Amino acid sequence: MEIQHEDYMLQFIRENNTIICSGSFRLTGSEYVPIMDMLNSIADEKTDFLNINLTALKFLNSSGINTLCRFIMRLRKNEVTKVLVIGSNEFPWQKKSLANFKKLLPSLELEFK
Amino acid sequence: MSELNANSELSFDEMKAELVSLRYQVRELEQDKADLETVLEMTTEHSDTVEEELHSKAEEAVRESERRLRMIIEATPVAVVVTELATSIIVFVNAIAGPLAGSVPEELVGQKMTSFYVNPEERASLVSLLGKEGHVDHHEVEFIRKDGFKFWVDISMRYIDFDEKPCILAAWNDISHLKELNKAARRFVPREYLSFLQKDSLVDIHLGDHVTDEMTVMFSDLRSFTAISEDMSPQQNFDFVNSYLGRVSPMVRKNGGFIVKYLGDGIMAIFPGDADSGVQAGIDKLNQVNIYNAERIEQRRLPIEIGIGVNTGHMMVGMIGEAGRMQGDAFSDDVNLTSRVEALTKYYSVSFIITAATKNSLVDSSGYSIRFLDKVRVKGKQKTLTLYEVYDADLIESRLLKQKTHQRYESAMQHFYAQEFSEAQLLLLDVLQQNPKDKVAWRHLMAVTKCIENGVDDNWTGTTIMTSK
């Protein structure tokens, strides 16, 4: 499963339950619909655990963070609690913004590379 | 009502279940509310973080671009000066600009740029042009250094934000040397000649460039040169010719003409405007010679004599030679003829001859002292030329006598061509009685007398046939 675009990419690698989100997301609200749909379908698979690799995610706008928040909420609802988010030290915004995911899913773990 | 009834029919257990469900829904709603608040908070915080990051990135980019700009300006081989728009105060100069402005860059910063302009108003007009057009490209401006040294620059200007202030970036090249070279080059191909050939620069001149039109051409020559130069050293010869040419040449320019070429001590000049400018230039040249002669006589030197021939007709003026060595020239039958006409000044002992073509092209011929000279056929040509003498620049005594005898002289010539030789002879004798130095009248008197003595045949036209050039 994947969505590819010139500026960004969303990939789900089922073998290791890993979502890879990379590039720059500068979409408007409605443009996130296919992305939200893909994330929802991953959440609904109710896997035992899930890795979210954001190490190559350069930029995410407000609608983008909103989409990810709703995805985390969906995971919580589906009781997928073993979630590891991997961020990058290269993009300072990630340190601040990704930490907030824990407010939505306290069991979520964060790791920065 | 029916719904109320239905509700009223709920049992206690059902109501309890309903309450539990409601409590559960309220908890869910509270969770949703808390989630939404968290999401809102996160989104806002994320937005602030990203905005802050972008802002610092943008600031860094601006600083980086200024650093790069400074690097480029420092490395550029032209002088660059940045001045504040509001105050004209120099805020930055590169290493090249310093020495050119006669100072080290650090000392220039803080000074007003206006003080470097020989004419400070020029800066104001350049700045206003920059305001109007958004750019100023390649304007020539004269600068002055603090030590008084002046130099020319080719300046271009742009608006620029420098240290977050609206500024003007001016880049300039010292073109003093180029200007000197141009000035030197213009002595070989004058500006008037360039504009006549519709060229902006010497660089644009090519072999074969030409203009064909009706123009007035002038040939002039120093008549007594051989006699005068005999006892002179080569240096004295050059000095003498240059002294003469230096006096008469400006008269050509003054009257809107340009010198196509020098032929030794001779001058070939073209007047693209009306024929009057050519005639006036001839008169001005002769007046200059009169002044020069007065000085020469005072210095116990021989006076000089020059001959001028002016003709109007179709001619080609352009560049001839080969790619590596070219010069201006003019040619056509009318040009060749003018050279012959000039040579005839010696034959008739007059200073200034114009052709009928020139006389008829004059806007106002009554403004000049012009009298009929002769009808001639020059060697190698079939056409008869009618020539006139311009005597405005004769010395005052001669001019007054020619004016006094003008009517009689003209009517003598009319009688002559009407083959009324006795009437012509009487009138010419009368002219000569008043002005015995009138060599033209003498020549005509001899011709008239010859006709009376020998008679004329039926083909007689009175045209003087020149057997030599």
| pLDDT one-digit tens code per residue, B7-60 | 567 788 888 888 999 999 999 899 888 888 888 988 898 888 888 888 888 989
Inter-chain CB proximity B53 and A62 less than 8 Å: no
For residue B49, the chain A residues in CB contact (below 8 A) are 92-93, 96-97
Measured CA angle at B227 (ends B226, B231), to 5 deg = 95
Mean pLDDT within A101-108: 92
The closest of B312, B331, B330 to B386, measured between CA atoms, is: B312
Mean pLDDT within B127-135: 93
Distance CA A5, CA A15 (A): 23
Average pLDDT, chain B: 89
The closest of B271, B274, B307 to B390, measured between CA atoms, is: B307
For residue B38, the chain A residues in CB contact (below 8 A) are 69, 100, 103-104
Q: For position A18, what pLDDT does the model report?
A: 96
Residues 6+ apart with CB under 8 A from B267: B218, B219, B220, B221, B245, B248, B249, B252, B259
Least confident of B104-118, B186-200, B245-259, B294-308: B186-200
Inter-chain CB proximity A60 and B46 less than 8 Å: yes
For residue B60, the chain A residues in CB contact (below 8 A) are none
A102 in contact with B, Cβ within 8 Å: no
Strands B370-377 and B464-465: parallel
pLDDT(A9) > 60:
yes
Least confident of B61-75, B80-94, B275-289, B398-412: B61-75
Residues 6+ apart with CB under 8 A from B447: B416, B462, B464
A36 in contact with B, Cβ within 8 Å: no
Q: For position B469, what pLDDT does the model report?
A: 65
Q: Which of A69, A73, A93 sits opposite B53 (nearest CB)?
A: A93
Inter-chain CB proximity B46 and A62 less than 8 Å: yes
Cβ-Cβ pairs closer than 8 A, A with B, add up to 47
B49 in contact with A, Cβ within 8 Å: yes
Inter-chain CB proximity A96 and B45 less than 8 Å: yes
Q: For position B200, what pLDDT does the model report?
A: 77
Q: For position B163, what pLDDT does the model report?
A: 80
Q: At what angle do helices B12-75 and A92-99 cross, to 10 degrees?
A: 170
pLDDT(A53) > 50:
yes
For residue B40, the chain A residues in CB contact (below 8 A) are none
Inter-chain CB proximity B43 and A62 less than 8 Å: yes
Mean pLDDT within B59-66: 87
Q: For position B1, what pLDDT does the model report?
A: 45
Contact B283, B224 (CB under 8 A): no
Q: Which of A59, A65, A92 sits opposite B42 (nearest CB)?
A: A65
3-state secondary structure of A53: strand
Residue-wise pLDDT for A91-100, tens only, equals 989 998 899 8
Inter-chain CB proximity A66 and B43 less than 8 Å: yes
Residue B429, judged by CB atoms within 10 A of its CB (0-12, 13-18, 19+), counts as middle
Strands B258-263 and B266-271: antiparallel
pTM over 0.80: no
User: For testing the chain B interface, which of A67, A68, A73 should be mutated: the one with the most B CBs within 10 Å?
Assistant: A73
B190: confidence class by pLDDT, cuts 50, 70, 90: confident
pLDDT(B399) > 90:
yes
For residue A62, the chain B residues in CB contact (below 8 A) are 43, 46-47, 50
Average pLDDT, chain A: 93
For residue B50, the chain A residues in CB contact (below 8 A) are 59-62, 93, 97
Q: Which residue's structure tokens are 């996160």?
A: B42
Q: For position B100, what pLDDT does the model report?
A: 65
Q: Which residue's structure tokens are 């070219």?
A: B326
A83 in contact with B, Cβ within 8 Å: no
Mean pLDDT within A74-88: 93
What secondary structure does DSSP assign to B444-459, as a single string? HHHHHHHHHHH---TT
Q: For position A38, what pLDDT does the model report?
A: 95
Nearest residue in chain A measured CA to CA from B44? A62
Among residues of chain B, what percentage have pLDDT more than 70? 97
Mean pLDDT within B402-423: 96
Inter-chain CB proximity B50 and A60 less than 8 Å: yes
